[in-house]
Amino acid sequence: MALVEVKVPDIGDSKDVGVIEILVKPGDAVKMEQSLITVESDKASMEIPSSAAGTVKELKVKLGGRVSEGSLILLLEAASSSPPPLGEGRVGAAVLPVSAAPAITAAPPPQPPALAGAGSPANGGGSQTLPHASPSVRKFARELGVPLAEVKGTGPKGRITQEDVQNFTQAVMSGATQTKAQQEQGAAGGAALGLLPWPQVDFAKFGPIEPRPLSRIKKISGANLHRNWVMIPHVTNNDEADITNLEALRVQINQENGKTGIKLTMLAFVIKAAVAALKKFPEFNASLDGDNLVLKRYYHIGFAADTPNGLMVPVLKDADQKGVLQIAQETSDLAKKAREGKLGPADMQGGCFSISSLGGIGGTHFTPIINAPEVAILGLSRSGLKPVWDGQAFAPRLMLPLSLSYDHRVIDGAAAARFNAYLAALLADFRRIAL
Contact set with ligand CAO (CB under 6 A): 265-267, 303-306, 311, 335, 356-360, 368, 380, 382-383, 400
Active site residue 226: no
CB of 266 to ligand CAO, least distance (A): 5
With vertex at residue 275, the alpha carbon angle to CA 274 and CA 279, rounded to the nearest 5 degrees, is 115
How many helices (H) and strands (E) the chain has is answered by 8, 21
CA-nearest of 405, 389, 305, 415 to 353 is: 405
The residue among 180 and 365 lying less far from ligand CAO, judged by its C-beta, is 365
The residue among 64 and 360 lying less far from ligand CAO, judged by its C-beta, is 360
CA 72 from chain centre, in angstroms, equals 41
Q: Tell me the H-state helices in 302-387.
A: 324-339
The residue among 130 and 311 lying less far from ligand CAO, judged by its C-beta, is 311
CA-nearest of 362, 351, 310, 360 to 332 is: 360
Q: Rounded to 5 degrees, what are φ and ψ at 419? A: -60, -50
Reported for 359-366, long-range contacts at CB under 8 A and 24+ positions apart, including other chains, are 359/266, 359/267, 359/383, 359/400, 363/401, 364/401, 365/236, 365/238, 365/401, 365/403, 366/403
Q: 132: how many CB neighbours lie within 10 A of its CB?
A: 18
Identify the bridge partners of residue 88 per DSSP, sorted by sequence position.
Answer: none
Q: Residues with Cβ < 8 Å from 54, sequence gap 6 or more?
A: 4, 29, 30, 76, 77, 78, 79, 82
How far, in Å, CA of 222 to CA of 267, rounded?
24
The residue among 20 and 266 lying less far from ligand CAO, judged by its C-beta, is 266
Q: Is 365 exposed, middle or buried (0-12, 13-18, 19+ CB in 10 A)?
A: middle
CA gyration radius, the chain: 28
CB of 372 to ligand CAO, least distance (A): 14
CB of 83 to ligand CAO, least distance (A): 55
The residue among 52 and 304 lying less far from ligand CAO, judged by its C-beta, is 304
The residue among 166 and 224 lying less far from ligand CAO, judged by its C-beta, is 224
Q: Which residue is nearest to ligand CAO (CB)?
A: 359
How far, in Å, CA of 412 to CA of 406, rounded?
9
How far, in Å, CA of 214 to CA of 234, rounded?
26
How far, in Å, CA of 68 to CA of 7, rounded?
9
The residue among 126 and 308 lying less far from ligand CAO, judged by its C-beta, is 308
Q: What is the DSSP string of 115-167?
A: TT-TTPPTTSTT--SPPSB-HHHHHHHHHHT--GGGSPP-SGGGPBPHHHHHH
Catalytic residue of the set 226, 234, 300, 408: 408
Q: Rounded to 5 degrees, what are φ and ψ at 284? A: -80, -20
The residue among 79 and 266 lying less far from ligand CAO, judged by its C-beta, is 266
Element (H, E) at 380: strand 376-380
Catalytic center residues: 408
